[in-house]
Structure 1
């Protein structure tokens, strides 16, 4: 089986991701507001304050997750590369890519950085069909089929294993 050809795509639209995060924030706040409005007098003040602080933390975390910078994702036939959208063709991070969630028109991809000096070891990429147009099918094919093309290392390993089998009595 041969590896898919080189492929590059700029990921710029995150509408589905932002809507999902906003919905989770709204649900969290609605549940807390309903609980506080229920007039449960038995709940200690410390518990009410703690739940309110958790809501603030959810809001801050959600706001952070909603901000996504455009990215460039590239498959070169050997490895995946990721970087800012402006670095298309010269992405600075090399790594492996896996599908975490596939909802047909929306993917959550997990990019594992190969470089140990990277600030993060994992980058989550929410990718939606809208905005990619004709690149959507090629992206899905590359994500599901991309494996490093056999090189000299793979060939020597296969040859070594075949020689080992031939040497057995």
Structure 2
């Protein structure tokens, strides 16, 4: 498979070319195989993929955009399979239940929505995360538009004793899965 991405400019580092090419080849193979009973790759796998940075690597913005499109394609296929296996009613019930669990977390008081990192450790800035949480709460409660890309690409400043990064990341992954499932 020949992938052509622009390379990082100047002294900037980009994603390690061989890692990106290898991953995209395996993603293509996984997509081409009818493995509906036990998929070898899911949209979540794509979302959690990371690559080393290297000089002369692929420009991160170009690869990230391609990964977002790939994740969307896998999520659409997963949705179609789930609808075929479960039926629309059961599938919608499961999506609503997941959305309600997420909403319960987002409805917690600002500053208390997630566990905190140790006071000496860096976590995500509480105000930054709470601002996104408020937008997501409005999305689930009022239908206020926010894109899955905005959730996937959210960046938070660092803060000592901030929110635990792993917990925030897991919730944002679940939000993205719900958003992609109900598109």
Q: Give TM-score, length-normalised by structure 1.
A: 0.23
Q: Bigger relative contact order, structure 1 or 2, given CA contacts below 8 A and separation 6+?
A: 1
The structure where strand makes up a greater share of residues is 1
Which structure has the greater CA radius of gyration?
1
The structure where helix makes up a greater share of residues is 2
Q: Give TM-score, length-normalised by structure 2.
A: 0.22
